[in-house]
Structure 1
Amino acid sequence: MEYTSLPGLEKRISRIGLGTWVIGGWMWGGADEGEAIAAIETAIDGGICFVDTAPVYGFGRAEEIVGKAIRRVGRDKVVIATKAGLEWNEREEIRRNSSPERLRREIEESLRRLGIDSIDLYQIHWPDPRVPIESTAQTLLSFRSQGKIRALGVSNFSPNQMDAWRKAAPLHTDQPPYNLFERGIERDVLPYCRENGIGVVAYGVLCRGLLTGKFQRHQVFGTGDIRCRDPKFQGEAFLRSLSAVDDLRLLAQARGWTLPQLAAKWALQQPGISLVLWGARTPKQISDAIQLPSSPLSDRELAEIDRILERRIPEPIGPEFLAPPL
């Protein structure tokens, strides 16, 4: 396992982090709590020490499961990242809310669900255009002065929004979507973070399971599954993606790797990427991450990956559908 450092945190962290959206079950067809806890324990036993979660993942369930796992493995073995700034109602309708009042309530609820007294990395999940970014940044800065958080982060923020944040408070990390099929941050977000010393925690490295290679051409997703409204999983776009997956799998097999390992190694080799989040809800799903090869992809292999993507997906589809309503 490779390790690195993140601004604002003293402890070195694994370059693979465990993402827990799927553990919450919501929009992923459910999750078994016992299996989820076992997945977290397996990840930590395998050297993964960074666990990323959020209140909206299962409406508190993911944080509660992470909290139970922490109590079993020990707080000192885990770097905990969670988020704030989204709220929901009884119909599971989500909206952005980064008001100071909402954030003060959220952090107390997250600390309670996680069963800890301080969060290592606290991130604003999505920018809220109704609340000045400076106000949100100052609220998190007050949490740090109270000892409730250690590092300040954002997720899904543009360079202009990060600029506004940095006028009011330190910004240690950004968490954007990034994978072989979704590379939009290469244009602006990634260069901005490199130039300003901001750590990048990339989410979606397996592109909602597409880069696991487990899907078939006539795949049917259950009601409520997020992939039912993901344009990348619809019609011709899905077929083109599967063709790219087939080519990428052959490239991975030539190295003796799995396709998910190829996807993660590619992302980790991109300049400015601090770590990537690997979603898993069972021990089996995290095993490839634990066994990630140490050797890098060659320049020739990186060029071949680019050729495959240009040939199979000439017009990439971004992850914009993920954004909650303003």
Structure 2
Amino acid sequence: MQYRTLGNTDLKLSVITHGAFAIGGHMWGGNEKQDSINAIRASLDHGITSIDTAPFYGFGLSETLVGDAIKGKDRSKIQLLTKFGLVWDGSNNGKGTFFFDATENGNTVPVYKYASKENVIKETEASLKRLGTDYIDLLQLHWPDASTPVSETMEALGLLIQQGKIRAAGVSNYDVAQLQEAAQTLKPASNQVSYSMLNRSIEKDLVPYALETHTGIIAYSPMERGLLTGKYFKEHRLASDDHRNGYFTQFNLEKVKTLLQSMEPMAKRKDATLAQLVLRWTTLQPGISVVLAGARNAAQAIANAEAMNLELNPEERQSIHQQLSGLQQHSTDHL
């Protein structure tokens, strides 16, 4: 495993970071608790020291499972990344910006973007409790909230840093203008954004800005929620409540299938899976600090970690870029 310093902080994160969205179960067709815990522990055992989660993932379940998984571990060797700013329990009293309607236990649950100072502090305390820790390594705004001044949110994060409850503050899904506005109060250490072979829109503006300002980029959905593993084309079976049934429709699936078929020989030569090749390619792109990779069980977690064993020479990288040139880039809302 390799480790990189995040932005202008002293945080060293594993280049492959364990993404804990799916283990929350919600929107992913459920989960298996022990498998999820085993996946996190397998990641830790194989050099993945950083775990990214959020209160919204499973309405608190993902954070709770992460907390259970790290019990008894050396906390100083683990970096916990979580978020705030998506409220689903009604505690915002209608304040904030309505995002969408989620479903919990068959009931419709309105989700709001809400990043007021009061809410940032409240959510942080709840996350600390669920994670079973007294500090968070990186706390990130989950989505921009148009109803709250950016300065107010950044001031709250600055206060949490002063109190020692978080080591660093970041944002998610920000564009360059929003990063510039935030930096007037508190420079974000990082920006967590969607980036994959099928969605490279950040390369135009965000990556150059990040490189210029030493802002970390945390890439999520590098495998487009499993689509780029190739399994979807061989095992076309998703639970009825799995959000990917709709998510995958944004892509030209025939072109994606052709792309994966074109990359299979390279993966086989390297005794690797397509998922490992996709992950390793993503880690090598300019401006990308770390890449999130989800795992539902220990075997998947180990495979993610072993992706870093792959070497891609300049000719191989160029070959992949040529194969990607015919694909239309997509940009869509992600969680």
Q: TM-score, normalised by structure 2?
A: 0.90
Aligned residues: 318
1:265 is displaced (CA, Å) by: 1.3
**Partner secondary structure for residue 322 of structure 1:** coil
Residue 151 of structure 1 aligns with an amino acid whose one-letter code is A
Instruction: Give the aligned partner of residue 154 of structure 1.
Output: 171
1:20–1:51: 8 Å Cα contact kept in structure 2?
yes
Instruction: Give the aligned partner of residue 317 of structure 1.
Output: 330
Residue 14 of structure 2 aligns with an amino acid whose one-letter code is S
> 1:293–1:71: structure 2 CA closer, same or farther, 3 Å change rule?
closer
1:82–1:123: 8 Å Cα contact kept in structure 2?
yes
Instruction: Give the aligned partner of residue 17 of structure 1.
Output: 17
**Partner secondary structure for residue 170 of structure 2:** strand
> 1:11–1:169: structure 2 CA closer, same or farther, 3 Å change rule?
closer
Point out where structure 2 has 5 or more consecutive residues left out of the alignment: 90-106
Dislocated runs of 4+, deviation >4 Å? none
Instruction: Give the aligned partner of residue 44 of structure 1.
Output: 44
Instruction: Give the aligned partner of residue 31 of structure 1.
Output: 31
2:270–2:310: 8 Å Cα contact kept in structure 1?
no
Is 1:280 the equivalent of 2:290?
A: no
Is 1:265 the equivalent of 2:280?
A: yes
Give the RMSD, CA atoms, in angstroms.
1.8
- Could you list the per-position Cα deviations for residues 214-272 of structure 1 after superposition, in whole angstroms to 9, with x for gaps in the alignment? 11278243222121221xx2287122212212212222212222111111111111111
Q: TM-score, normalised by structure 1?
A: 0.92
- Could you list the per-position Cα deviations for residues 136-184 of structure 1 after superposition, in whole angstroms to 9, with x for gaps in the alignment? 1111111111111110100110010000000001311111111111111
- Could you list the per-position Cα deviations for residues 70-121 of structure 1 after superposition, in whole angstroms to 9, with x for gaps in the alignment? 1132322310000001111462332211112221211111011001111000
Is 1:202 the equivalent of 2:219?
A: yes
1:17–1:275: 8 Å Cα contact kept in structure 2?
yes
> 1:237–1:217: structure 2 CA closer, same or farther, 3 Å change rule?
farther
> How many Å separate the matches in 2 of 1:108 and 1:263?
36
Question: What are the within-5 Å matches in structure 2 for residues 68-107 of structure 1?
Answer: 68-89=68-89, 91-107=108-124
1:293 is displaced (CA, Å) by: 4.3
> How many Å separate the matches in 2 of 1:10 and 1:155?
20
> How many Å separate the matches in 1 of 2:159 and 2:246?
38
Is 1:125 the equivalent of 2:137?
A: no
> 1:317–1:220: structure 2 CA closer, same or farther, 3 Å change rule?
farther
The structure whose residues are more often strand, as a share, is 2
Point out where structure 1 has 5 or more consecutive residues left out of the alignment: none
